Chains A and B, each alone.
Chain A
Amino acid sequence: MGTQIFHVTFLPFDITVKVPEKTTLWEAAKLGRLPLKTPCGSEGACGECIVQVLEGPYTAKPSASLSKKLVTQGYTLACQTQITADLTVLLPRFKELPIKSVVTSDFFENSRDQISGFFEISPDIKFVKVCLPDPTLEDNYSDLKRLKRELNKKTGMKDIRCSFTALQSLAHSVRAQAGNVEVVCESEPHRLRVLEVYPKNAAKRLWGAACDIGTSTVACSLVDLETGKIQATTSGLNQQIKCGHDIISRINYAQKSGGLKELQSLILKTINNLIEKAASVVELSASEICCAVFAGNTTMIHLLLGLEPRFIREEPYVPTFNELPPFVAKDVGIKIHPEAGIHFAPAVGSYVGGDITAGILCTPLLSSEKVSLFIDAGTNGELVVGNQDWLMTCACSAGPAFEGSGTACGMPARQGAIERIKLDNHDNFLYSVIGDTAPQGICGSGLVDLMSELFIHGFIDRQGKFTNKATDKLVENEDGVAFLVESEQKSFWGKDMLLTEKDIANLIRTKGAVYSACLLLLKNVGLEPKDIDAIYIAGGFGRHLNIENAIRIGLVPDLPRDRFFYLGNSSLTGAYLMLLSHKNRTFVKEIAGKMTYIELNTEPRYMNEYTGSLFLPHTDMELFPSVRQILCSGIRTTCT
């Protein structure tokens, strides 16, 4: 008898590899080029290659870094697990999870009437209820002709087009309730598109999806288009992360043979999984979603559509498009209603994308004469400064540290993430976890808190290196020394939650990139931070961002705290607004047209500003007077 061959399917990537018996899961994952790491060299010591087996039996060597509880839930270390049957395996880091809707953030709820966009519920998708008279020998027009006749009577529209999907069920739908039908129509200025025809009382609702496609994380909201309410929001890591963490590495990956196709299929899988997961929360079939809006940076949208991204990164940095016409779902590959219209937030250029124009929609930037600043601290950081008359924008490569990538303990803001951290008087950490579970990692807002607390309490020095005071809290591992945030007994994964000096350096680079871009953008328009009336901060930090701590680490300028507003995921909120009303889709194009882009790459002062920002809070303490005061007030010894 020869060696048996088994199939191992890795979720959520949906990648299946065929391997001979007794191969380890780690080897199988490597074969499928999945993003699993074993810094310990497959010794079963580091616990980094943890997976969850969803289906199939397996044999695994016991490992100290895996708690009993996790083992009973099917968690195992890939490098210690032998394949003896067909398996379905989940990479838990990539699991999509519902989050408490970011759209219901306090800011948006409280400021609906001050935002640049319009909060009104008048989607293009509508139910049109008509009654088709029964066909007779005299009135023997086709079902379609009779449907169009009634729709014309009701709406006055002449140009009515019926989708193939609607046609397929038309004969039965019109006969089920004596000709009484509810027609899902998409109204365009001079045209009506029939997406679906339901018999009366089919108890269907109109659904739309708003989606933010980030370089690191993707979020999706499911919206009841009749009430405008968000019924479910899901978020997960962008599966493209296996091809590189930032935009440039993705663009490079797209240059490999088959690379672009792979990236396209990974982002489609990510989006489709999230939509499906959200749909299942409201017990809905994804095919009932009749409209979708996508907001993402220019590169992400290129990759989603399978467009060559190369020229985005080559001088003079020209994308294939800035503004796109609506497409239909089946052409794009989005698994909702095949005829659903797909809309995209328009981009300003290669490095300021639809996520920013959509984001501006839900800030009050254009509602005032006063100058405000919008900061989106994503993997690619973007900033916009301006008022109702003018807008200037720039981009910087911030890195994914605040979105949960690029640090050992980082994770996106979702269930299991530590979102707030404080040190008590005995230097013990107090924290709160999203969903009140055992902590799995720390999301952006938690990392900002952690950095700030470590700095203010003197555990790290101004360049982010551990001080003597930290010695008792340090543990040593392969990466050198690391600060112990939570012990293995209390963390979800059963291993120590650590912050290394490398992680801190990463976070400092990220905050430094954002702050220096901010300073330079303001200098370019002849302004100083103090001239800014309001600062709106967006990004994947989490539900709450502690502004005081963001200032203490030098992420944002040292200004009165009441000038700051945290928006959460503004790209997603903007996409949601675009879904609700055609007016917003027109207005967002106007916003894109107003923005003047400043290229920092060619700005000689940028490097100087940047190295100055690679310090806590900054090399120039004059820029952070309130932080200096805190440091001088005694917790720290010096405050030069």
Chain B
Amino acid sequence: MAFEIPRETNTGSIAEITLGATSEQGGTRSHTLTLGGSSSLPFHFFEGEQPHPPVVAMEVFDSVPTKYPEPLLDYYRDVIDNPGEMAKKCVEEYGAELISVRLEGTHPEKGNKSVDEAVEIVQKVLSSVSVPLIFTGPSHFEKNNEVMKKVCEVTAGENCLINYVETDNYKTIAAACIAYGHTLVAQSPIDVNLAKQLNILLTDMNFPADKIVMDPLTGTLGYGLEYTYSIMERIRTDGLAGDKMLAFPMLVTPGYESFNVKEARAPQKDYPDWGDLAQRGIYWETATAVSLLVAGAELLILYHPQSVEIIKSKIAEIFAAEGGE
């Protein structure tokens, strides 16, 4: 008797979220990207549909990142202080499918760039690349509201992904997203209930349920990745089981998390046993990203061009082998 794979079918499916808008849709992007839609656990092609493969974004900054290790900086040395050019390089040379613009320099304690300066950067990136965009605000409630409100306004109709709101600060930015037609990242601190609560609060204020992406706030390898993994998995299984308030695509940030820890940054002369720094950063980011892909991530923001290459080729490989059946 032939072996039969036990199948688990689900009653629910993950919401399909489209990012970006072409000129017919009122934007200026050359194409749109769709996330989610799956009716099975990630890559369980034998159990359900996974119509859209996960996508990889890269990040540019409003102020030169201080935490980039030298080997990573080598890829961007000529463009690191020019977000428009850096975005272009990421898309054209390194294959980024989206660009995230991190506006942390507007944080009152990290440069306190003005709203106008932020807007200028946003517009520069908007005109340099034609892929859908993510805008990531500062970790400061008032400033985040102030900056993102304006960013939403000047990018009206582009259906950008506005990153992020959390339970204690969501109303202003969510309202701006509704008004200007953007999609929103709902971020919660690695907890199934808190994630669900924020989504309920958003939909309670009539935020459209097809415009939410969740960020479960993941940790990198060695910094709680296992916990993150199991929370994401639970969010996904609840979502597939029919809990609509948990059935949203998930955004993760392995680049930001990995290049924040010393394992991916400390020079080899300080830690001879740890091996070549140039390779180490890629390994760290890639190991984190692959784990999160398996946990259910649909959108990954990566930093290292080689990580992007590896992750993109892995996704393509799996989909070519299994999804093409």
Contact = CB atoms under 8 A, between A and B. Distances in A.
A122 interface: no
Contacts of A611: 191, 193-194
Nearest to A609: B193
A614 B194 CA distance: 9
Contacts of A619: 193, 196-197, 200
A608 interface: yes
Interface string B181-202: 0000000000111101100110
Interface residues on B, range: 10 to 19
A638 B193 contact: no
A640 interface: yes
Contacts of A615: 193, 197, 200
B204 A461 contact: yes
A462 B193 contact: no
A449 B244 CA distance: 31
A640 B193 contact: no
B172 interface: no
B203 A614 contact: no
B313 interface: no
B201 A612 contact: no
A491 interface: no
Interface string A582-624: 0000000000000000000000000010011011000100000
A640 B247 CA distance: 13
A614 B193 contact: yes
Given A463-B167, A608-B192, A638 B197 contact: no
Interface residues on A, range: 10 to 19
Interface centre among B192, B193, B201, B203 (most CB of A within 10 A): B193
B206 interface: yes
Given A608-B192, A608-B193, A619-B193, A640 B200 contact: yes
Contact of A640 (B167, B192, B194, B245): B245
Main SS of chain A's interface residues? loop
A471 to B, nearest CB: 13
Main SS of chain B's interface residues? helix
Given A638-B203, A638-B206, A640-B204, A463 B244 contact: no
Contacts of A462: 197, 200-201, 204
A189 to B, nearest CB: 55
A637 interface: yes
A233 to B, nearest CB: 41
A612 B191 CA distance: 10
B244 A640 contact: yes
B190 to A, nearest CB: 11
Contacts of A640: 200, 203-204, 244-245
Interface in B2-20: none
Interface string B203-245: 1101000000000000000000000000000000000000011
Contact of B204 (A608, A614, A638): A638
A627 to B, nearest CB: 13
A638 B200 CA distance: 9
A279 B3 CA distance: 83
A256 to B, nearest CB: 35
Given A638-B206, A640-B244, A463 B201 contact: yes
Nearest to A607: B191
Contacts of B197: 462-463, 614-615, 619
Contacts of B206: 637-638
Contacts of A608: 192-193
A452 to B, nearest CB: 18
Nearest to B199: A640
Interface string A626-640: 000000000001101
Interface centre among B200, B201, B203, B245 (most CB of A within 10 A): B200
Contacts of B193: 608, 611-612, 614-615, 619
Contacts of A461: 201, 204
A174 to B, nearest CB: 73
A89 B180 CA distance: 62
A462 B203 CA distance: 12
B234 to A, nearest CB: 9
A463 B203 CA distance: 13
A528 to B, nearest CB: 18
A236 to B, nearest CB: 37
A463 B193 CA distance: 12
Contacts of B204: 461-462, 637-638, 640
Contacts of A612: 192-193
A593 to B, nearest CB: 37
B63 to A, nearest CB: 32
Contacts of B244: 640
A399 to B, nearest CB: 19
A619 B203 CA distance: 13
A619 B245 CA distance: 10
Nearest to B167: A463
B231 to A, nearest CB: 10
A637 B200 CA distance: 13
A5 B132 CA distance: 78
Interface in B162-176: 167
Interface string A459-473: 001110000000000
A608 B194 CA distance: 10
A611 B189 CA distance: 12
A615 B244 CA distance: 17
A615 B196 CA distance: 10
Contacts of B196: 619
Interface in B128-171: 167
B168 to A, nearest CB: 9
Nearest to A621: B200
A525 B204 CA distance: 36
A614 B168 CA distance: 14
A619 B204 CA distance: 13
A622 to B, nearest CB: 9
Interface string A184-203: 00000000000000000000
Interface centre among A461, A462, A611, A640 (most CB of B within 10 A): A640
A523 B295 CA distance: 28
A71 to B, nearest CB: 42
A56 B206 CA distance: 62
A615 B193 CA distance: 9
A461 B201 CA distance: 8
Nearest to B191: A611
A461 B196 CA distance: 14
A640 B191 CA distance: 19
Nearest to B192: A608
B289 to A, nearest CB: 27
28 contacts: A461-B201, A461-B204, A462-B197, A462-B200, A462-B201, A462-B204, A463-B167, A463-B197, A608-B192, A608-B193, A611-B193, A611-B194, A612-B192, A614-B193, A615-B193, A615-B200, A619-B193, A619-B197, A619-B200, A637-B204, A638-B203, A638-B204, A638-B206, A640-B200, A640-B203, A640-B204, A640-B244, A640-B245
Give the top 8 A-B pairs by smallest Cβ distance, nearest first.
Answer: A611-B193, A612-B193, A638-B204, A619-B193, A619-B196, A615-B197, A619-B197, A640-B200
Interface of B: 167, 191-194, 196-197, 200-201, 203-204, 206, 244-245
Given A461-B204, A615-B197, A638-B206, 7 more contacts: A462-B200, A611-B191, A611-B194, A612-B193, A640-B203, A640-B204, A640-B245
